[in-house]
Every structure is written in structure tokens, then in C-alpha cells.
Structure 1
Amino acid sequence: MPGEHARIQVVKTNKDYGYAKILERTETSPDRVAPPCPIFDTCGGCTIQHLAPDAQLAFKRDIVRHALTRIGGLDATDTAPTLGMTDPWDYRNKIQVPVALQNGAFAFGFYRKRSHAIVPMEHCPITDPLIDAIVQTARQIAEEKGIQPYDEQRHRGSLRHIMARIGKQTGEVMVVFVTKTDDLPFRKAFIDGLTSRYPQIKSIVHNVNNRRTNAILGKESRTIWGRDAIYDKIGGITFAISAHSFYQVNPSQTEVLYKKALEFAALTGKETVIDAYCGIGTISLFLAKAAKHVYGVEIVPEAIADARQNAERNGITNASFEAGKAEEVIPAWRAQGIAPDVIVVDPPRKGCDAALLDTMRAMQPQRIVYVSCNPATLARDLKTLTADGLYQVKKIQPVDMFPQTTHVETVVLMSRKDK
């Protein structure tokens, strides 16, 4: 970690970087702490759990600053301190655990980093304790009944994953069983065993995934007990969460992130806003509370259907949603005379499509608010947006959405230079 020295053995060198094995640590950072998770060094999920919380926040700020400087060629000196959590544990509202046949036995846990070998897991300290316990109970039922775990090599067996989600504000829980087979063996035992013990469970879903794929969920989901969705609230807005819904895994920090995006948007109630990559409308509905009208676009039709329902559920009438590629829908809106004062983008890790960046510059909104989960692609896109001098970066705010990991979210405010 930063500040440490070690004797290493170089195993591979490339033009710009190399790989090495640590033989002996000769200087230890004062920020090194004992990780509480017993499988920390083999799981590969929480890669900086051994770094003290305050040092994690400083580390993530440096990640953002270095990316914006090296890749984007920007002055990131004024990057704000990372916004962290008071208690950076038990925050995940979703857990999805693979089940497999490993060495001829039932295996349940997380994949070892860069492999599909399962590391047995009894407890995950960054996951909500209730759903952590529920998946362990489901595992016990599966083992007691002798259900056939999925054999990835031979593409045989039944149970592939056990997933659970919780509404952190409502306490409602959904459990999802993913199988290769069209039926869920011992279905009644799972339903009775879970619902009798955990009254918080409001939905049990069976998902069928019979493909050879790394994707967890298949296309077909059937509700076998309770409701099709559970509900949660962020910032007073209620969201329906189905088995397939994208919903941020750390809702308390999501509220911090979205409030910062809303602050940067500086809405007065008179603005037209476009929300690219709007998902199920989480940011859009936040913005709609302070804007004249919000237009959201998302490539996944099911997410747009969820966004419309979420708007209706919350009585929000000044938000419109359209399914399609942002780089195609937004130019069409422009042709219809829709002129945004603010554009908000929250793209996937690969960043914004080049055509969308060109469209944003052509539409010349007063402000662009960029929400990013990948500092590298953020830096690349900001370099493009600032290339002709029309826009300048005004504020950079990292947010720690995923404590104990190297991932960091960033909110950036860009303003037109004539404004």
C-alpha cells in the first residue's frame, strides 16, 4: 500500500508497467490495519480492507486526481476530499453467491480473484447482516435437501446462484434462486424454511439461466412466493426493485452522491434537464423535484418501464422517459426543439459514447454534471469536453460508494465559459 517498501521479484515487464511478487515487506505503513474478514486475502473483493478508513478516503481522492491529471491533462489540484461513511461496513443491500460443484462437493462462496474457484464464505462484513444470514439459511436448506449444484465444466446440475436484496429504509427482502433447470428443486422447502424464519421476506423469485455464461441472471424470472418487487426509499422517493432492476448497492451513499449532483446542477425550478443513462430514474426523480422538466434516456427498455412507474408512484409529472441509445435519442430531442439548460450523465464504466459527447457540446447547456464510476474514462471524456475551450471543470467531488474496495464514484461540475 502507499508508503510501504518491499523486496520483490519481477515476473513480467511491459513497456509502461510490470508485474512482481512481494517477497518481503521491509517498511510497513502506519495506515495498515488488521482486516476483520477471514477470507480477505483469498476472496479478492475488498482489496483495501487492510487500509485504515481515513487513509482509504485519501487514497481514493488520489486515484481521481491522478487519473484526471495523467489521462485528462486537467488541473485536479482542487479535488475535494472524498465523502465517506461514518460506518463503512454492512452497507451492501444485495448479495449474490455462486453455488457450484467443486472437487465433487457442494461449494458456496465467492469467486477467487481472476478465477471461478469458489472461496467458502460464512459471513460477508460489507453486506447487510440480515440478507447475509438469509443466504446462509438458504445454503443450509440446499445442502440438507441434497440439491445438485451447478457444474460449470459439464454444464450440468441445477442451483447456480442464491441472491438476496433488501430495502435498507423499508426492511423488505427479496430472495432469488438461479437455476440451470426449468424447475426449482425443493421449492416448498425453500419457501417454508425461509418465510417461517424471516418475516422480512416479501418476495421469492425463481430465475432460469440455462446458458453457458458468466452472467448471473437469465431472462426468465418467476415469482414463486409473495410480490414481484420490493420497495425502498432514497431521499423520500420510493423505488420498486425487481430481480432484474439496477439499483445502487449502497443507498445511503447514493443519497450523498445524488444530493451532490443536485447541488452541482444548481436548479431553480426553471430549467430543462436531460438525464442520460437514467436507469430506473433514480437521479431523474431527484432532479425533477427542483427542475421545470427532466428528460431521461436509457438503452434498457425494462429500466425505462421501471422509471415511468417510479415517477407515477411518487406523483412526479415533470419527468419523461424514452428507451434507446442516448447518442441517438438526445439528437432527436434536439431536433424537436428541446434545449437543455443542464445535462446530467451517469454512464457505465466504459464512459460516454463519443457521439453523445459531440451532441452535448453541440447543445451547449449551461452546465454538465458528470457522475462517474470509473476515473479513467471520466478523465478521457472530460478531456474531450474541454478540448475546444467551451467548457471548464469547476468542481470535482469523489464519493466513497464502495468502502473497503478500490472503487470510487466522482461527481464533476462543468460550466460553459460564457456563463
Structure 2
Amino acid sequence: MGAPVARGEELELHVDSLAYGGNGVARLDGFVVFVRRGLPGDTVRARVTRVKRGFAEAVAEEVLAASADRVEAPCPHFGRCGGCRFQDYAYERQIAAKEAQVRDALVRLGGFAEPPLEPIVPAASQYHYRNKLEYSFTRSADGPSLGFHRAGRWDEVLPVDVCLLTTDAGNRVRDAVQAWAREEKLEAYDQAAQTGYLRHLVLREGRNTGQMLVQLVTAKGRKFEEEYLVEVLRRFPEVRSIHWAVNDTPAEVTTLPTTLLWGEDAIEEEILGLRFRVRPNAFLQTNTEMAETLYEITRAFAGLTGGETVYDLYCGTGTIGLALAAQALTVWGVEISEESVACAIENAELNGITNAAFFAGNVSLALEELRERAGQPDVVVVDPPRAGLAGKALRRMAALEAPRVVYVSCNPTTLASDLALLRDEFGYELLRCRPVDMFPHTPHIESVSLLERRAGVVAP
């Protein structure tokens, strides 16, 4: 039997809930329609954009009856900018929806009938919380402009006058670079035509140190006066590091080798009393304030007493492992990014931590060698990318037979499937799961889970 809707058809729908990813969930005679820009409680007129066998996707063209939980979005660019999805949804309802999505994933995908889910931790700040932003250059009547991709579009950039997720300093530096680009009559890159020069601006801030790193990304060629750009940026006392990167490929990427134009090669951030050096391509949680909360929960779940050997997998710049080191015997970190590992080693030295070591390598390939070197782990902390611990990495981690695993996740769907496999095939019991809202007004959800291995279980 075919779907009861067709692409391009307009429907009147009542939105019941939010799906993971941010779309509203409506039903038409039992058939699920995911509605972009639809909030729970809304009745909308929606246009169908995609039809699959078991569901359809639509975009709300008009709100016919607004949800009682709709609020006024403070950002002048909201609705057109693709950065925030829920500034118009009351914050207490946002976090309730995120907690429900984690629960739903554990029940429906993980098969945990009564998951040990603890209340979500709300964000300490709903705005101005990001320590990193990536802007794209675009062409406008006034010359090069900086902004973000329009909602639902990869090929169109919306110029912005202000972003409420960054700081006042971040907004001022972005405006100064935009004014510099116009003064120098440089041309913004056109992604569709693959012509032009200026591509991206990346700003990273040490929120607890007041330091800022600026990275300009251009197409190939040295078409600007480096000294003048440095002069413009040095007017801001926060700017401590200025980098230039060249992207000569069609791909829109900013993780590139850089040339230091001025200042230190890295800035510093402070988390839980520790100092961390941050280079252009090193990973750091984007919300410093809530990263401290996330790491405190991780430390509590790890339950260290001072005698444990801890593996920190996907360790990034070592933030989690170094936060655990004072309560552990040894910490051993593995991360595929050599730049991040270099930062982790430097961060250990910076903080005088001598019981932590970090290595560059693929987690799925490095564990056997790590166990030979470090010995059997008592606790494994894992913070994988959004795709989770798929395949060999999960099985080889589980084969370590660590008594305790702390899983930091940024994706409840992959978390649920990974936890189910750890339960069913390796005897790990889920004891606790705590969602943490790191990114208000977006669909993203972090969580920390504690697993313990049942005695007598033989790994396959």
C-alpha cells in the first residue's frame, strides 16, 4: 500500500512531539509526517517535501494555531539562519523533549524497558555559550559578508549582523574582519561556481581565559596583505593567535594545515582548574561552561579511588583524561588526530600531570598494543564521534573486559544500539544515564552513561 501523501501536497497537521534531529512529529491517519519548523502543540499548514515508504517529510508553511509553548525568538536572523532551531520554543520544553528523546532511544532502539535515566542537566546559559564559531563568506551588494548557511540550504549563506550564541567580542571581531575584507576589495568565494577567494572565518575563544584565536580560510594564492590583517585584529586585546589556512578543494572544510601570521600558535582555556592549550584544529567541547559539568559527571560515574588504570578513548586534547588523573593511578589516552594528541601531551606538561600518557592511533587498531603496554584497564572512558562505537572499535573495547565503562555520547540513537550490544554480547549492565544539555536551541544532546560488567560473563 502506498503512502497516503504526495510530494508537493499541502496538509493541515497537528504536531504531537519532537523527533531526534529537531523535526516535529505529526500523524495523518497513523502515517508519520516529520515537520520542519513545527513545534509540539502547533497546528500547521505544511508542504510535503519527501515521501518514503514508512514516513514523509514536510515543512511548515504557516502556523494555523500556535503551541502554548511558543515564545518570541530574540535573534533577528532566527528562522532564516540554519544555526538555531528552537529559539521560539520555551527552554523548559526543549530540555524535556531532549530527555524524552534519550529515553525513547534507550527503550525503542536499545531494548531497555526501564532505562536508569536520570533528569537532564539544563544548560547554565541559554545564549552566548559557544567558544567556537565557523562563519562563511558570501557575496553581497556591500562586498564580502560573513554569515551562516540558510536553514536547509548548503549553497546559500545568510549574512548576519549578530549571533547570540557567541560573545560580544566574537561579534566585534567578525565585524572587523568583514570590514577589512570590504576595504581590501577581496572577493568572497562562490561555492557553486567555485570562484572567488575568501572562504571561512573561524573564531575560537578561551571563555575562562579571555583569549581568542582567529583563523582565516581562503582559496589558493596570497592575495591579501598579512601585516594589515594582523594590525586590524591586534586592536582587540582578546586576540592572541592569528592563523591563515588555504583550501584549494571544492569541499567546505576548515580543518586544514595553518600558517601562523602572528602571536602564539595556540590559546589557552581553563576547565576544572586545569589549563588546556587549543590549536586551530584541536577538538574541545564547544560549550566550556557545560563541559565542566559533563566532566564532573564523568568523574563521578568513574568512581575512582586512586588505584585505577583508566583508558581514555577518543581522548581529543586530553580534557577528560586529565580531569580524571588526580583520582587515578594512571590514565592512557588514544586519539586519531595527531594535532589533538600533541595538545594532550602538552596539556599534561602544562598542568604538571605525570601519570597520564597520550598516543595517536585508530582506537579499533590500538587497543591490543595499549593493553600490552599499560596493563588491564579498571575503567574505560569513551567519547566517540556521532557515529558511535560501530564495528571493531566497540568489540575490541568490550574485549578488554574492563569492570566499568563510562560512555560519553553526543548521539542517543548510536548510544542506544551500542549499549544494547554491550549488554547482549558482553555482559555490561547499564546502571546510570544522565543527559546534559550542552547546546540550547539546537537538537544536539550529550549524555553520560555508566556500565558495569557482570561477573562470570565470557566475552565472545
Structure 1 position 175 matched with structure 2 position 202: no
Return the alpha-carbon distance in structure 1 between the equivalents of residues 217 and 319 of structure 2.
27
Return the alpha-carbon distance in structure 2 between the equivalents of residues 269 and 184 of structure 1.
55
SS for the counterpart of 1:34 is: coil
Find 1:350's aligned residue among 387, 393, 407: 387
Find 1:64's aligned residue among 84, 88, 102: 102
Return the alpha-carbon distance in structure 2 between the equivalents of residues 21 and 283 of structure 1.
40
Return the alpha-carbon distance in structure 1 between the equivalents of residues 292 and 156 of structure 2.
35
Find 2:348's aligned residue among 311, 329, 333: 311
Find 2:266's aligned residue among 229, 234, 237: 229
Return the alpha-carbon distance in structure 2 between the equivalents of residues 185 and 24 of structure 1.
46
Equivalent residue number for residue 396 of structure 2: 359
SS for the counterpart of 2:384 is: coil
SS for the counterpart of 2:110 is: coil
Displacement after TM superposition at 1:360 (Å): 2.7
Return the alpha-carbon distance in structure 2 between the equivalents of residues 43 and 415 of structure 1.
43
CA contact (8 A) 1:250 1:401 kept: yes
Q: Runs of at least 4 residues of structure 1 off by over 6 A?
A: none
Equivalent residue number for residue 153 of structure 1: 192
Structure 1 position 280 matched with structure 2 position 324: no
Which structure 2 residues correspond to residues 213-224 of structure 1 after superposition, within 5 A? 213-219=251-257, 221-224=258-261
CA contact (8 A) 1:176 1:243 kept: yes
CA contact (8 A) 2:143 2:187 kept: no
Cα-to-partner distance string for 1:72-107 (whole Å, 9 max, x where unaligned): 111355422211123311011112211133689534
Which stretch shows the higher mean deviation, 208-217 or 87-96?
Answer: 208-217
Displacement after TM superposition at 1:279 (Å): 0.9
Equivalent residue number for residue 338 of structure 1: 375
Find 2:68's aligned residue among 27, 30, 44: 30
Equivalent residue number for residue 173 of structure 2: 134
Return the alpha-carbon distance in structure 2 between the equivalents of residues 387 and 249 of structure 1.
34
1:368 aligned partner, one-letter code: V
Displacement after TM superposition at 1:23 (Å): 4.9
SS for the counterpart of 2:80 is: helix
Equivalent residue number for residue 17 of structure 2: none
Equivalent residue number for residue 84 of structure 2: 46
Structure 2: where are the runs of 5+ without partners?
Answer: 1-38
Which stretch shows the higher mean deviation, 208-217 or 103-112?
Answer: 103-112
Displacement after TM superposition at 1:6 (Å): 3.0
Which structure 2 residues correspond to residues 8-407 of structure 1 after superposition, within 5 A? 8-101=46-139, 106-112=144-150, 113-183=152-222, 185-196=224-235, 198-219=236-257, 221-336=258-373, 338-388=375-425, 390-407=427-444
SS for the counterpart of 2:439 is: coil
CA contact (8 A) 1:58 1:81 kept: no
Return the alpha-carbon distance in structure 2 between the equivalents of residues 270 and 172 of structure 1.
36
Give the 3 Å change call, closer, same or farther, for CA 335–211 of structure 1 in structure 2. same
Which stretch shows the higher mean deviation, 125-134 or 405-414?
Answer: 125-134
CA contact (8 A) 1:135 1:163 kept: no
1:176 aligned partner, one-letter code: Q
CA contact (8 A) 1:94 1:131 kept: no
SS for the counterpart of 1:386 is: helix
SS for the counterpart of 2:155 is: coil
Give the 3 Å change call, closer, same or farther, for CA 177–184 of structure 1 in structure 2. farther
Give the 3 Å change call, closer, same or farther, for CA 203–11 of structure 1 in structure 2. closer
Return the alpha-carbon distance in structure 2 between the equivalents of residues 218 and 95 of structure 1.
16
Return the alpha-carbon distance in structure 2 between the equivalents of residues 388 and 226 of structure 1.
52
Return the alpha-carbon distance in structure 2 between the equivalents of residues 349 and 324 of structure 1.
18
Which stretch shows the higher mean deviation, 323-332 or 73-82?
Answer: 73-82
CA contact (8 A) 1:8 1:22 kept: yes
Return the alpha-carbon distance in structure 1 between the equivalents of residues 317 and 419 of structure 2.
25
Give the 3 Å change call, closer, same or farther, for CA 106–399 of structure 1 in structure 2. same
Displacement after TM superposition at 1:153 (Å): 3.2
Equivalent pairs, count: 417
CA contact (8 A) 2:117 2:432 kept: yes
SS for the counterpart of 1:49 is: coil
SS for the counterpart of 1:140 is: helix
Return the alpha-carbon distance in structure 1 between the equivalents of residues 416 and 90 of structure 2.
27
- RMSD, aligned α-carbons: 1.9
Return the alpha-carbon distance in structure 2 between the equivalents of residues 295 and 337 of structure 1.
7
Cα-to-partner distance string for 1:180-231 (whole Å, 9 max, x where unaligned): 13325032222212212x1121111111112221212432x11111111111
Give the 3 Å change call, closer, same or farther, for CA 313–38 of structure 1 in structure 2. same
Displacement after TM superposition at 1:336 (Å): 4.6
CA contact (8 A) 1:107 1:118 kept: no
Which stretch shows the higher mean deviation, 36-45 or 331-340?
Answer: 331-340
1:351 aligned partner, one-letter code: G
TM norm structure 1: 0.95
Displacement after TM superposition at 1:135 (Å): 0.9
Cα-to-partner distance string for 1:344-394 (whole Å, 9 max, x where unaligned): 110001111322222232222111100001111111111110113611111
Identity level (%): 38
CA contact (8 A) 1:204 1:225 kept: yes
Return the alpha-carbon distance in structure 1 between the equivalents of residues 316 and 276 of structure 2.
12
SS for the counterpart of 1:378 is: helix
Return the alpha-carbon distance in structure 2 between the equivalents of residues 108 and 24 of structure 1.
29
